[in-house]
Amino acid sequence: MAGFAPVRHIVGVAAPLLRANVDTDAIIPSREIKGVAKTGLAEGLFADWRYLAAGSRMPDPSFILNDPRFAHAPILLAGANFGCGSSREHAVWALGEYGVRAIVAPSFAPIFRGNCVSNGIIPVVLDAATILAIADAGAPAAIDLPTQTLVSGTITVSFDIDPETKVILTEGLDAIDRTLRQGDAIAAFHAADRIARPWVYLESIS
């Protein structure tokens, strides 16, 4: 079972949301999380900024994604420490459902970054000056994961991404399936560890 469709090339509008420390409460406020599901979240995306009043659905024209040029942009240009705060994966599910396929930021909060990879969203790390230049030029961007390059107008940059993340994203691999193939190693670890650290292992209740 694949976790998500493989992601290799992303082409499209890049919406600039150039604020540092955008937290997951801002990406999706807790009150917008209404069901035990990974879907139905796009409407609540950035609700505090996107709508004029809490609970309303009147678009705030000053918010970037309400600018018709940037609506449903597949690429988000962001500030440092993007996705900090709560671990809620809803932030990534909401972004994905809205149509975001890649986020370009100087840095990501670690749990958020992991959640992106789990859901097929590319976390691209570039320095702040380059991100600003891309935003200022305002051209659409093309991200090619296999070659680790981003092209936008006259700007061409390469970016680093660890090989494991690259494989997972480009193949659309399900991490659980991959790990379950290590079943023997896991069983062997537990057998030895039960002897070394018996206090770690607890009785089951059922």
Residues that bind other proteins (CB under 8 A): 1, 3, 19-21, 23, 25-26, 29-31, 33-38, 48, 53-54, 80-81, 84-89, 92, 107, 109-111, 114-115, 118-119, 162-164, 167, 175-176, 178-180, 182, 185-186, 189-190, 193, 197-206
Under 8 Å CB-to-CB from 106, ≥6 apart: which residues? Answer: 79, 80, 125, 126, 127, 128, 131
Closest separation in Å from C-beta 143 to other proteins = 21
Nearer to other proteins among residue 85 and residue 99 (C-beta):
85
Please state the closest distance from residue 103 (CB atom) to other proteins, in A: 15
Pairing of strands 155-158, 149-152: antiparallel
| Least Cβ distance, residue 101 to other proteins (angstroms) | 17
Choose between 5 and 53: whose C-beta lies nearer to other proteins: 53
Nearby residues of 80 by Cβ (< 8 Å), 6 or more positions away: 20, 21, 105, 106, 107, 128
Q: Compare residues 2 and 137 and give the one whose CB is closer to other proteins.
A: 2
CB nearer to other proteins: give 149 or 179. Answer: 179
**Taking the complex as a whole, how short is the minimal distance between the CB of residue 203 and other proteins, in angstroms?**
6
Long-range contacts (CB closer than 8 Å, 24 or more residues apart) made by 61-65: 64/15, 64/16, 64/17, 65/15, 65/17, 65/98
**Nearer of residues 3 and 74 to other proteins, judged by Cβ:** 3
Shortest distance in whole angstroms from residue 99 CB to other proteins: 20
Q: Shortest gap between Cβ of 19 and other proteins (angstroms)?
A: 6
Strands 9-12 and 141-144: antiparallel
The smaller minimum CB distance to other proteins, of residues 21 and 156, is found at 21
Q: What distance in Å separates the CA atoms of residue 164 and residue 4, rounded to the nearest whole number?
A: 16
